[in-house]
C-alpha cells in the first residue's frame, strides 16, 4: 500500500555517513518532533537525480528552512559510502542524506519501482514529501520517467 497524506511513516533504519564512518539513524531520529522536507530519489549520481532533482533541492534549502522546515533530507537506494561521496560532490552539509540500500524504507511506504531491466534492481520512486512529527502532510509522487512535481521548488510552494 502506498503511503498517503495523513499517514504516519513506518519504522525504518537508514544508514548515514558521518565523520566517524557509517552510522544508523531511525525514522524517529530523523522525524520525531521535527518538520522535515524529504526527497526520494532512485540513486545518487544518476543523470536525473544528480543533474535535475538534487539541484532543485540544493537551491531551495534555505528557503525551505525559512518556512519552518527543520531538516532537508534526501533518501536513495544507495549505501552510506556512496552518499558520503555524493555529499562531498554536492558541496554542502546542509542536507541529510539517508541511505536505504536495501529499499526497505521505500518498500515500506510503497514507493518502489523495478529497475532490473537497466541493472538498477529495486529503487525508490522519485517523490517529495513534507513530514511533521512523523506524519505525512504533503506528498508529490512522480509518474515513471517524469520530473515535474518532486522538486524542491514544488514543495516550497506548498508551504
Domain ranges of the chain: 13-158
The class level of CATH for 13-158 reads alpha beta
Confidence band, pLDDT 50/70/90 cuts, at residue 153: very high
60 contacts: CB under 8 Å, gap ≥ 6 = 152, 153, 155, 156
104 exposure class (CB count in 10 Å sphere: 0-12, 13-18, 19+): middle
Task: Please say if the pLDDT value at position 94 is more than 80.
Answer: yes
Confidence band, pLDDT 50/70/90 cuts, at residue 80: very high
**pTM of the predicted structure, to 2 decimals:** 0.95
Task: Please say if the pLDDT value at position 109 is more than 80.
Answer: yes
Give the per-residue pLDDT at 25. Answer: 97
Number of Cβ atoms within 10 Å of the Cβ of 97: 22
Confidence band, pLDDT 50/70/90 cuts, at residue 104: very high
Q: Is the dihedral of CA 80, 8, 32, 67 positive or negative?
A: positive
49 is catalytic: yes
- Give the model confidence (pLDDT) of 116-129 as tens digits: 787 777 889 999 99
- Three-class DSSP category at 137: strand
Give the per-residue pLDDT at 1. Answer: 76
- Give the model confidence (pLDDT) of 35-66 as tens digits: 999 999 999 998 888 888 899 999 999 999 99
Catalytic residue among 41, 49, 74, 141: 49
Amino acid at each position: 500500500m502506498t503511503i498517503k497524506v495523513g499517514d504516519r511513516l513506518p519504522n525504518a533504519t537508514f544508514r548515514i555517513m558521518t565523520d566517524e564512518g557509517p552510522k544508523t539513524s531511525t525514522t524517529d531520529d530523523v522525524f520525531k518532533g521535527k518538520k522535515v522536507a524529504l526527497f526520494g530519489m532512485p540513486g545518487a549520481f544518476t543523470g536525473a537525480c544528480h543533474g535535475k532533482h538534487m539541484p532543485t533541492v540544493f537551491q531551495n534549502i534555505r528557503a525551505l528552512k525559512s518556512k519552518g522546515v527543520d531538516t532537508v533530507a534526501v533518501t536513495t537506494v544507495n549505501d552510506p559510502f556512496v552518499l558520503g561521496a555524493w555529499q562531498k560532490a554536492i558541496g554542502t552539509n546542509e542536507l541529510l542524506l539517508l541511505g536505504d540500500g536495501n529499499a526497505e524504507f521505500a518498500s515500506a511506504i510503497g514507493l518502489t519501482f523495478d529497475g532490473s531491466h537497466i541493472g538498477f534492481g529495486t529503487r525508490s520512486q522519485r517523490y517529495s514529501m513534507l513530514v511533521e512529527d512523523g506524519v505525512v502532510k504533503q506528498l508529490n509522487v512522480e509518474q515513471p520517467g517524469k520530473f515535474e512535481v518532486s522538486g524542491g521548488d514544488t514543495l516550497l510552494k506548498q508551504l
